[in-house]
Amino acid sequence: MKNLGIEIVGDLKGIDKVFLAKLNIEELKTEISALIKKHGFNELGDYYHSFEPGITGAVVLAESHIAFHTWPEFGYVSLNVFTCNYTKDNDENAKSLFDEIAHIFQPTEIDKQIVIRNH
C-alpha cells in the first residue's frame, strides 16, 4: 500500500443560491448513500441537519468519513471526503466519490486539494 489514506477537501462555488436553499435533505441523504455504496464504501451511520438556510451532513464510513456544509446565501458548499487504505487502496474510488457528490450541487467552480496521509 502506498499510503494510509487520502483526504479530499473541496470548495464548491458558483452554485445556484435558490437551488441550494431548496435542497431536500432526505433526497440528498439517499443520493449520497447510493454513491457511497456504488464506490464500494461501507456506511456506518450519518447525521444531517437543516438550518435556515442550509444543510450540514456527516457520514461515518468504515473507511473514514464524508462531511459537507452548505451556505445557500453564498452559493457555496464545503466538501470533505477522507478514506483510509487499511484493507485496499481506496484512492481512486475516493476521488470518484468526491467528484460525484460535488456534481450533486452543480457548482460552476471546484477548488480541490488532495492530502495523502502517510505514517
Asked if pLDDT for residue 90 goes beyond 90, the answer is no
Q: Which fold has domain 5-117?
A: S-adenosylmethionine decarboxylase (3.60.90)
Asked if pLDDT for residue 85 goes beyond 90, the answer is no
pTM, two decimals, is 0.94
Asked if pLDDT for residue 23 goes beyond 60, the answer is yes
The catalytic position among 33, 49, 50, 64 is: 64
In the block, residue with C-alpha cell 455504496: 37
Check if 64 is active-site.
yes
Which residue from 100, 82, 95 is spatially nearest to 32, judged by alpha carbons?
100
Check if 69 is active-site.
yes
- Across the chain, which distance is largest between two alpha carbons, in Å? 44
Average pLDDT on 40-65 reads: 96
Average pLDDT on 90-117 reads: 96
d(CA 89, CA 23): 33
Asked if pLDDT for residue 88 goes beyond 90, the answer is no
Count Cβ atoms below 10 Å from residue 73 Cβ, excluding itself.
11
Q: In what order do the strands lie in the sheet with 109-117?
A: 43-50, 55-61, 64-71, 76-84, 5-13, 109-117
What percent of the chain stands above pLDDT 90? 87
pLDDT of residue 96: 97
Set of cell numbers at residue 104: 450533486
Check if 119 is active-site.
no
